[in-house]
Amino acid sequence: MMSELRKDLVSGRWVIIATERSKRPDDFRPRGAAAPAPEAVGFCPFCEGNEGKTPPEVFSLRAAGTAPDSPGWTVRVVPNKFPALNPGPPPPRATQGVFQSMEGRGVHEVVIENPDHALELSDLPVAHIREVLRVFQLRIRAIECDLHYQYVQIFKNKGKEAGASLSHPHSQIVATPIIPKRVKEEIYGADRLFRVFKECAFCRILRDEEAAGKRIIVQNGQFTAFAPYASRFPFEMTIYPKRHSAFFTDVREDELLSLAGTLKHVLTRLKETVNDPPFNMVLHQAPNPALSLKGWPDIHLKSHWHLEIIPILTKVAGFEWGTGFYINPIPPETGAQFLRGD
């Protein structure tokens, strides 16, 4: 069977679905095996009881009567102890010939998802995952009050190959004083397609995916998880809210629980199907509403927040860096089929 070139609608990125090289989940298992934790000798700065080794918490969910920076928490947020970006207003950009630079201003926080080192996000009860998601919302709202921060990025690196230096389950929040290039590209793509479809491109994609059905992994009344048509990576997944919304902070209380259930389901299926692979989870959303509504007055109509989960099972190498093409050896229809458990 010939390979197939597929185009991602919003980014315009092309992907080679190399069907003749198609593999089964078992083919990826050796790489998926968890590497020994670097902290295996017994110390972890994120574990309960070691609060003194982190900077003072900026937020926590904790038992009544327990003091900040002491045991008794369920979710804890701390600033990065040795951050690459420091808080504060961004100074003017400097130029050296044709080159531009600015001081590294921004926010970098770590969300410690639970006090138990061994409990991954997918192992937690749905109600606890909802609390982690709620904490994301609270921190985004708090950070976006400072209009210097134009974009808040939430992401999770799980496993050494995905960039995690510590196996204690955690996510990270980085807020930047500029709107990152990929976020802009997504906005421009959504804007272009809005003019074509006369509706949000993501809503249209979701409708078409649900109609096709073959890439759907799981859905409920509020969320749909599917393998994107032009998936770059084996078992790549995305979770879309069915209710159109540009900002993650707009997710309602009842929706948070539903999202937590969907997230637990897909992460558990990934763990079971591909032997607990390393992965990156990334939140896509519109920039700081206060600013983006000024620059893009109808961005709330065109942008559509979603979660992207990328298992690290293949290597990005010269061809991908040089061309922007990706080669995916597992068609998303096959990936979704395995993840559904058909």
Partner 1 sequence: MKKKILLVEDERALCLLYEEELGKEYDITAVTDAEAALAKLGETAFDLIITDIRMPGKNGIELITQIMGLRKDIPIIINSAYQSYKDDFMTWAADAYVVKSSSLDELKARIKQLLGE
Query: Nearest Cα to 298, choosing from 223, 175, 199, 178?
Result: 199
Q: Is 41 in the site for partner 1 (CB under 8 A)?
A: yes
The answer to whether the beta carbons of residues 47 and 115 sit under 8 Å apart is yes
Q: Is 84 in the site for partner 1 (CB under 8 A)?
A: yes
Candidates 67-75, 76-84, 140-148, 187-195; binding stretch for partner 1 (CB under 8 A): 76-84
Q: Which of 108, 128, 170, 265 is catalytic?
A: 170
Q: Binding residue for partner 1 (CB under 8 A) from 77, 124, 133, 166?
A: 166
Is 49 or 295 the residue whose CB approaches partner 1 more closely?
49
Candidates 7-15, 81-89, 210-218, 250-258; binding stretch for partner 1 (CB under 8 A): 81-89
17's CB contacts (< 8 A; 6+ apart) are 3, 4, 5, 6, 231, 328, 331, 332
At 185, list the tokens: 């590209």
Q: Is 42 in the site for partner 1 (CB under 8 A)?
A: yes
Q: Is 63 in the site for partner 1 (CB under 8 A)?
A: no
Minimal distance, residue 110 CB to partner 1, in Å: 7
Minimal distance, residue 304 CB to partner 1, in Å: 31
Q: Binding residue for partner 1 (CB under 8 A) from 30, 36, 52, 65?
A: 52
Minimal distance, residue 157 CB to partner 1, in Å: 10
User: What's the residue count for the chain?
Assistant: 342
Minimal distance, residue 80 CB to partner 1, in Å: 8
Q: Is 46 in the site for partner 1 (CB under 8 A)?
A: yes
Query: Alpha-carbon distance 260 to 126, whole Å?
Result: 6
Candidates 62-70, 86-94, 165-173, 201-209; binding stretch for partner 1 (CB under 8 A): 165-173
Q: Is 53 in the site for partner 1 (CB under 8 A)?
A: yes
Catalytic residue at 170? yes
Minimal distance, residue 166 CB to partner 1, in Å: 4
3-class secondary structure per residue, the chain: CCCEEEECCCCCCEEEECHHHCCCHHHHHHHHCCCCCCCCCCCCCCCCCCHHHCCCCCEEEECCCCCCCCCCEEEEEEECCCCCCECCCCCCCEEECCEEECCCECEEEEEECCCCCCCCHHHCCHHHHHHHHHHHHHHHHHHHCCCCCCEEEEEEEECHHHCCCCCCCEEEEEEECCCCHHHHHHHHHHHHHHHHHCCCHHHHHHHHHHHHCCCEEEECCCEEEECCCCCCCCCCEEEEECCCCCCHHHCCHHHHHHHHHHHHHHHHHHHHHCCCCCEEEEEECCCCHHHHHHHCCCHHHHCCCEEEEEECCCCCCHHHHHHCCEEECCCHHHHHHHHHCC
Q: Total binding residues for partner 1 by CB under 8 A?
A: 19
Interacting positions 258-277 with partner 1 (CB under 8 A):
none
Residues 196-225, one symbol each (x = binds partner 1 by CB under 8 A, - = not), give: ------------------------------
Is 43 or 321 the residue whose CB approaches partner 1 more closely?
43
The answer to whether the beta carbons of residues 240 and 201 sit under 8 Å apart is no
Residues 169-188, one symbol each (x = binds partner 1 by CB under 8 A, - = not), give: -x------------------
Amino acid identity at 122: S
Q: Is 45 in the site for partner 1 (CB under 8 A)?
A: yes
Q: Is 101 in the site for partner 1 (CB under 8 A)?
A: no
Minimal distance, residue 44 CB to partner 1, in Å: 8
Is 37 or 178 the residue whose CB approaches partner 1 more closely?
37
User: Where do contacts with partner 1 occur on this chain (CB under 8 A)?
Assistant: 38-39, 41-43, 45-46, 50, 52-54, 81-84, 110, 165-166, 170
Where in the sequence numbering do the catalytic residues fall? Answer: 170
